[in-house]
Amino acid sequence: MIELKNISYQYQNGEQVLDDFNLTLEPGDKIGLVGPNGSGKTTLFKIIMGLLAPDEGEVIIFDQPREKEEDFIEVRERVGFMFQDSDDLLFCPTVEEDLAFGPLNLGKSKEEAKEIVQETLKLIGMEGFEKKVSYRLSGGQKRMIAFGAILAMQTEVLLLDEPFSGLDEDAIERMVGILNDTDRSYIIVSHNGELIERVTNKLYYMNE
């Protein structure tokens, strides 16, 4: 599903964060990535989504080389990226609109999108939040709605950057349950080693 070959990336300040990096995500993989800040975990996700271009190496997603901006249009329809900052995903006035945004942009009808919104809110345990103003939610509530927005897109692959951050114990257990129940492949970045072991079947440590 995702194959990264010999990826290198250096920031403009000269900091090398990825050097000859290789990673493969196959159907059924639930991969955990751990490592210190600055080891390139978030950069890696941005390269997969085409938000950053590697200095060297190949990005192959769904068996197609991805190089130009137009190559990543399909990727963004089939891979859901949950940013570390929930506010990067929530930009509509209400929760309902935030959750419907992805499905509508993927061609769903208004009725289909409305149904997906209701199913998603039930799944993440936030029924009744439809008309809530997104930017007024607590940090943990925003995190769950951002997670819901990714699930609502019904993508084949999930990229989750620190999804457990700011969640209370009940919300964490809901998210863990959803991840363990899904048949979607995903890569998850988290500093919480105990949680990441509960939701992954492969674990990689990134350093230097």
**Domain coordinates of the chain in residue numbers?**
2-205
Digit-coded pLDDT (tens) for 29-58: 999 998 887 778 889 999 999 999 999 999
List, as one string, the DSSP characters of 44-102: HHHHHTTSS--SEEEEEETTEE--SGGGHHHHHHHEEEE-SSGGGT--SSBHHHHHHHH
* Three-state SS at 201: coil
pTM above 0.95, yes or no: no
Digit-coded pLDDT (tens) for 7-19: 999 988 888 889 9
Digit-coded pLDDT (tens) for 81-118: 988 776 666 778 888 988 998 888 888 899 998 999 99
| pLDDT at residue 86 in the model | 65
Mean model confidence pLDDT for the chain: 89
Q: Which residues pair with 23 in a beta bridge?
A: 4
* Three-state SS at 175: helix
Fold of 2-205: Rossmann fold (3.40.50)
158: which 2 tokens? 């999930």
46: which 2 tokens? 């941005």
| pLDDT at residue 89 in the model | 66
Task: Give the C-alpha separation, 115 to 157, whole Å.
Answer: 22
| pLDDT at residue 31 in the model | 96
36: which 2 tokens? 């210190």
| pLDDT at residue 132 in the model | 86
